[in-house]
Amino acid sequence: MFQKFKFYLISLVISSMLGGIIIGANFLVHNIYYLVVGKEFHFNMWSSIIIFSIVFISGFAYMLKKGPDILVNN
């Protein structure tokens, strides 16, 4: 029971971290682009929400598909 809960918790954390990294990279690229072009930067929250949702759901689904054995180093 505890192993299953631990697996779900680790899957959620890893998927969230991956989504956060992708959003951070997206923010950084857009910020640098607008800095080079000389335009005022407008952060679009909806694109970040969509990107995070796609990355989070696909990462979590992949972890569930592979099962707890994915976390074991062999």
pLDDT in tens, 52-64: 888 888 888 888 8
Query: CB of 56 within 8 A of CB of 13?
Result: no
- For the whole model, what pTM was predicted? 0.70
Res. 30: pLDDT tops 60: yes
pLDDT of residue 27: 83
pLDDT in tens, 38-51: 887 777 778 888 88
Token digits of residue 61: 């689904």
pLDDT of residue 42: 72
C-alpha count within 13 angstroms, C-beta hemisphere, residue 18: 16
